[in-house]
Amino acid sequence: MRLSELSKKSGVSTATIKYYLREGLLPPGERISANQADYHTDHLHRLRLVRALIHVGRIPVARAREVLASMDEDQPGTEDRVGAAIEALPYEPVNGSDGDAFVVRAQGTVAALLAQEGWAAGARSSGNHPAYQMLVDAVATLARLGYPCDVPHLTPYAARAAELAVHDLNVIQALDSPEERVEAAVALTVLYEPLLLALRRLAGVEECRRRYNSA
């Protein structure tokens, strides 16, 4: 298909598609003349994924490029590629320096939680894992505001996260190819986060109704 057809099928303007091509988010089409290229269904699929990362996942273009590069990397095995793709998902720290008292205490809490759960990812990365930093920031912010955030309070959240990880990996492993599994790892992580947030809020409203306004 030509660029105009790719634009029509995807709902993305030709100018934006050209921008994605320049930024390396979308692989180039097959050149058929000096100023024309042919695009395939793979381009349409990747374009939809790019839009999801940027507009649903709120990932900046430069970081989206890193995530897509990690997906395309030739890793020794599927497990390595899936893990690398998830680890590449970005997070911009929002708290102060590592010397901040709340951050220091949060790092200790997170280390204790990870050790309790037997999760090696955060400890192995020595704090460089984006999700590890996200968790430290969240715990530090809760502490600043005086909300409970010690290990016993966080344990039920970790348990439910572990259950969700099992479900995600079951979905991923059911896919046919390594490429599909790696892409699904990113898609499930990025696109299900707003779904989980929405369900949590709806459940909160329902629980409030049940407890306080059951009549």
CATH number for the domain including 36? 1.10.1660.10
Report yes or no on 9 lying in a domain: yes
Domain span at residue 24 reads: 1-56
Report yes or no on 164 lying in a domain: no
Tokens 């709902």 found at? 11
Report yes or no on 32 lying in a domain: yes
Report yes or no on 37 lying in a domain: yes
Checking if the pLDDT of 125 tops 70, the result is: no
47 vs 198: CA distance, rounded Å: 25
| Chain mean pLDDT for the chain | 84
**Closest CA relative to residue 192, chosen from 83, 63, 70, 89:** 89
Confidence of residue 23 (pLDDT cuts 50, 70, 90): very high
Q: Please tell me the predicted confidence (pLDDT) of residue 116.
A: 94
**Closest CA relative to residue 64, chosen from 186, 197, 188, 195:** 186
Number of domains in the chain: 1
Q: Averaging pLDDT over each range in 51-55, 124-128, 159-163, which range is the top one?
A: 159-163
Checking if the pLDDT of 80 tops 90, the result is: no
Report yes or no on 8 lying in a domain: yes
Contact 78, 172 (CB under 8 A): no
Confidence of residue 213 (pLDDT cuts 50, 70, 90): confident
Confidence of residue 57 (pLDDT cuts 50, 70, 90): confident
**Closest CA relative to residue 49, chosen from 30, 71, 29:** 71
Report yes or no on 166 lying in a domain: no
Residue range 130-157: average pLDDT? Answer: 93
Q: Please tell me the predicted confidence (pLDDT) of residue 22.
A: 92
Report yes or no on 40 lying in a domain: yes
Q: Please tell me the predicted confidence (pLDDT) of residue 155.
A: 97
Q: Please tell me the predicted confidence (pLDDT) of residue 79.
A: 54
Q: Please tell me the predicted confidence (pLDDT) of residue 67.
A: 78
- Percentage with pLDDT > 70 across the chain: 83
Report yes or no on 151 lying in a domain: no
**Closest CA relative to residue 183, chosen from 42, 76, 6, 24:** 42
